[in-house]
Chain A
Amino acid sequence: MAKFLSDEWIVKCKNYMYEKLDPEADLKNVTTSLLGVVEHIPPDDSIMNFYLNLENGKLIDFVVSKGPTYEKEAKFVITGSYGTFKSVLQGEMNLTIALLKNRIKLKGSKVKALKLMKPLDGVILSLKEVTDEFED
């Protein structure tokens, strides 16, 4: 278990996804990239982002970096507050609702994004599994 967005967290997430997620069954062989921008991170209200790249259901890239942008273009960019990501990762709220409640903003086509929700659930699940500590 690790703290959200910590170096340790990335490693754990990667491992978890490699080990536990089946590219076909869980990730539906999806090929996409996602940039998650996390705003209002306590204590100093900073911004970080994590970049995820899947090819045919395999995790190619998973990077966390500071600031609102990452050098690589992502197919989808979701932006939300630390609190929102927290409740998603703690399973208090699912990504779709967060989206429909404007808690998470999305750049890119909604239809496509919703089609992706299923496989992404797999990813989110893994993140859930390894995340247990948050700033508060």
Chain B
Amino acid sequence: MIEYYPFLTNFLSVKTFNNEIYIKLYLQITILGVEMTSEKILTLEKTSFKGALEIAKKGTHCGMCRFDFLETGLCPSGKKHGFLAYWPQGRMQIFKNLMEEKVKPTEKLIEIVNSCSLCGICDKQCNFATQLRPEKVAKALKDYVEELDKGDFQNIPEDKNIIALRKIVGEEWATNDPIITSSYISSIIAPDSKFNFYIVMPKDAQELSKVIKYANSNNLPYLPRSGGTLLSMAAPTVLSNAFGLEKGIVIDLLRMNQLEIHPESQTAMVGAGITAFELQKEAHKHNLRANVAEAGAHICANIASTGILSTWGNKYGWAADNFIDVETVDDEGNIINHSDLEIENPYTTEYGFTNISLVPPLIVTKVTTRLNPVFDDEEAVFVPFENIQDAIDLSFKVARRGMGFSNVILSRKYLAEFISPTPNIAKDFEYILEKYMKLNYAVDIICNKDEKKIIESMVDYTIDKSTLKSLILGCPKLSTLKDSEFMKILSEEKDPLKAIFAGPMKEHFEKALEATPENISKIYDEDLQDFFKKAYSKPELTNIIWLHEHRIFPSRLMRQRMFLPMGGVIWTEYEKNLLDWINMFVNVGDKNKLIHALGFISPFDQGRFACLEYDFYYDHNDPDAKKRVDKAIIESQERSLQIDGILSALNFYFKGLYRKEHVLFPIAKAISDDDRELFRELLKNIIGGV
């Protein structure tokens, strides 16, 4: 009966409103429970909702709205309340959920919309990364709430679990509110799951420990969440169930925001709530540098998940190399450090392709991470290549000789996506790189001046700072040159790359790009142009080294569409298999009609190994595309195991807390046919299996 209570009150209230739309709406929703497509609702709704929903759907949880990378400040409400629901990306998710009737309004929703002052910070941040306007969604959400009546908001009573959890973390840091819960959809909770979840935000290891002990003795599953980017990548795919949480307690670690730099020992104490960008920024104040993943990734989570794969790995290391010590909480709720003497060996894990882990072995709450000195004579060297073998030769040679801090082979695609402010510009840019310039790969090295000299002595020509700067600020103009005479002439050169980057055309080219903050800002919406003009005037936005450290560009790969990074690690002794591996991805990508491209290849451990990222791109709102990605994942994963010298992604995840020596040695060989069967079975269970 209680079921119908809200409806009746709604019904009456709505009736007094005498609003046809709402009567229909509620009849359908609450009594008939008729399946309604959002389309239908939208015809009934204000059309502005439609636009907002479109925006919301395009959101990809890149997480860039959760730290201050443009000095706009941070979403005040998110900063204050913590739960994802109070952040721009959460609002988008909530709006989507409401429109798609995944969830009904609750009283919390009122507080959530009220907490947003429509300050516009999110629009600036999001526009830089994904070209979206989350503020419009926030506004729409406000309007939506406006139009509802008090009675429309369900009151969510406390249950025994939430009472217990609140005792541990405090009133405001634990909730079972469906609206808040639903904001975690697609970044830890599967879209189709019911909302029998609790969200808890412990402030330290002690609270987390209590939460886990409670969860265990009450048989509640749990999963930690930090930036959620990795999870959001898995969410639309077959890996959704495998990586996500099906019910129980979502542990949001955002509140663990301790951050101390220890210049003397060149280390930093970093809490689980701290992002790569935040650490890097702090480290730089002391002229130190951290080895970090993408700007939005949380250091602690990232260490546990992939051991921090960066372009700096060749010098700074991987997995346990990154940290001096970690504070973790195990699945019995014990707080342990890797330095503890009386614990079980925390540095080793079973070797072999069956060692797949879908969750971190321990929840990292704090890490003492290594920092590295920044030298005053650091420079970037960009060497363009038409074919990949040449690029590999150079990159690996430099790596084996221990030269360079950051060393990576970037694909044309990455280069274009990173520096182009919009998807369309990126597209044209890439077209030009491919068709006219014949620039398919760039060996991209950060090194000191001596090393720069040496590397330059190994190659004919490089792309210098001024050209790179012109490309960043001039890419809109460049993309307009798509069919220009200039390009045609260029393409007829014997060596177009040389001509344009080292030859007579360099000057003309740079002039032609009219590279100024002013010009690039023009591609943004009228009301944002001033802001972006300022943003692009900041030296760091065109400072290649800064960009390599702070890694704010990779988020652009997720603008308004999704991608799934595949790949893993290859032993450079097996370099010859690297091309086969890449070609395999190419075939799988084509076969499944996906946009796909090599991301990067980066050597590490003095060139002993290299990690490769190959990306499948797709529209996360297109069910058919998702199916094709699934196929691609499964096939490429399986075929990766049939190549000698490779440790593929699925075997690579959540091994970052171990010594690389125990994960990477000995060299993995192609698996036998029996084992292949076994692996198929395994994969079927992971993916098919609920």
Answer yes or no: A and B touching, Cβ < 8 Å: yes
Which A residues contact B (CB, under 8 angstroms)? 39-40, 42, 45, 81-84, 86-87, 91-97, 100-103, 110-111, 114-115, 117-118
B358 touches A101 (CB 8 A): yes
A to B CB contacts below 8 Å, 10 in the list: A42-B219, A83-B221, A93-B690, A94-B685, A94-B689, A101-B358, A101-B359, A111-B354, A114-B682, A117-B682
**C-alpha gap A87/B245 in the complex (Å):** 13
Of all chain A residues, which has the CB nearest B689? A94
B358 touches A97 (CB 8 A): yes
Query: Is B242 at the interface (CB under 8 A from chain A)?
Result: yes
**C-alpha gap A92/B190 in the complex (Å):** 14
**C-alpha gap A93/B241 in the complex (Å):** 9
Contacts of B686 in A (CB 8 A): 96-97, 100
A115 touches B690 (CB 8 A): no
| Interface contact tally, CB-CB below 8 A | 69
Of all chain B residues, which has the CB nearest A102? B359
**C-alpha gap A115/B221 in the complex (Å):** 26
19 further interface pairs, Cβ-Cβ under 8 Å (given A82-B219, A93-B690, A114-B678) = A39-B216, A40-B216, A40-B219, A83-B219, A83-B220, A86-B219, A87-B246, A91-B690, A95-B685, A96-B686, A97-B241, A97-B242, A97-B358, A97-B685, A100-B359, A101-B358, A102-B331, A110-B352, A114-B682
Contacts of B170 in A (CB 8 A): none
Contacts of B220 in A (CB 8 A): 83
Which B residues contact A (CB, under 8 angstroms)? 216-221, 241-242, 246, 331, 350, 352, 354-359, 361, 678, 681-682, 685-686, 689-690
**C-alpha gap A84/B246 in the complex (Å):** 12
Q: How far is the CB of B649 from the nearest CB of chain A, in Å?
A: 14
B685 touches A110 (CB 8 A): no
**C-alpha gap A86/B220 in the complex (Å):** 11
Contact of A45 among B217, B221, B678 (CB under 8 A): B217
Q: How far is the CB of B680 from the nearest CB of chain A, in Å?
A: 11
**C-alpha gap A111/B361 in the complex (Å):** 19
A103 touches B678 (CB 8 A): no
B219 touches A93 (CB 8 A): no
Q: How far is the CB of B191 from the nearest CB of chain A, in Å?
A: 17
Q: How far is the CB of A68 from the nearest CB of chain B, in Å?
A: 13
B216 touches A81 (CB 8 A): yes
A100 touches B357 (CB 8 A): yes
Of all chain B residues, which has the CB nearest A41? B219
B350 touches A110 (CB 8 A): yes
| A114 in contact with B219 given A93-B690, A94-B690, A100-B686 (CB within 8 Å) | no
Contact of B354 among A83, A101, A114 (CB under 8 A): A114
Q: How far is the CB of A4 from the nearest CB of chain B, in Å?
A: 12
**C-alpha gap A45/B215 in the complex (Å):** 12
Contacts of A103 in B (CB 8 A): 221
Of all chain B residues, which has the CB nearest A86? B219
Contacts of B689 in A (CB 8 A): 93-94, 96-97
Contacts of A114 in B (CB 8 A): 354, 678, 681-682
A111 touches B352 (CB 8 A): yes
**C-alpha gap A103/B690 in the complex (Å):** 14
Q: How far is the CB of B357 from the nearest CB of chain A, in Å?
A: 6
Contacts of B355 in A (CB 8 A): 110
Q: How far is the CB of B563 from the nearest CB of chain A, in Å?
A: 24
Q: How far is the CB of B268 from the nearest CB of chain A, in Å?
A: 28
B352 touches A118 (CB 8 A): no
Of all chain B residues, which has the CB nearest A113? B354
Contacts of A118 in B (CB 8 A): 681
Of all chain A residues, which has the CB nearest B650? A100
- Which 5 pairs, one residue from A and one from B, show the smallest C-beta to C-beta distance? A83-B219, A96-B685, A94-B689, A100-B358, A110-B354
Could you say which of A39, A40, A100 has the most chain B C-beta atoms within 10 Å of its C-beta?
A100
**C-alpha gap A83/B161 in the complex (Å):** 15
Of all chain A residues, which has the CB nearest B675? A111
**C-alpha gap A83/B214 in the complex (Å):** 13
Of all chain B residues, which has the CB nearest A96? B685
Q: How far is the CB of B242 from the nearest CB of chain A, in Å?
A: 6
**C-alpha gap A129/B217 in the complex (Å):** 26
B356 touches A100 (CB 8 A): yes
Contacts of B219 in A (CB 8 A): 40, 42, 81-84, 86
Contacts of A97 in B (CB 8 A): 241-242, 358, 685-686, 689-690
**C-alpha gap A96/B219 in the complex (Å):** 19
**C-alpha gap A116/B686 in the complex (Å):** 16
Of all chain B residues, which has the CB nearest A110? B354
**C-alpha gap A94/B361 in the complex (Å):** 19
Of all chain A residues, which has the CB nearest B245? A101
| A115 in contact with B357 given A81-B219, A97-B241 (CB within 8 Å) | no
A40 touches B217 (CB 8 A): yes
**C-alpha gap A87/B678 in the complex (Å):** 24
Q: How far is the CB of A80 from the nearest CB of chain B, in Å?
A: 10
**C-alpha gap A115/B680 in the complex (Å):** 11
Of all chain A residues, which has the CB nearest B362? A102
Q: How far is the CB of A90 from the nearest CB of chain B, in Å?
A: 10
Of all chain B residues, which has the CB nearest A93? B690
Contacts of B241 in A (CB 8 A): 97
Contacts of B359 in A (CB 8 A): 100-102
Of all chain A residues, which has the CB nearest B679? A114
Contacts of A45 in B (CB 8 A): 217
Contacts of B331 in A (CB 8 A): 102
Q: How far is the CB of A58 from the nearest CB of chain B, in Å?
A: 23
Q: How far is the CB of B509 from the nearest CB of chain A, in Å?
A: 52
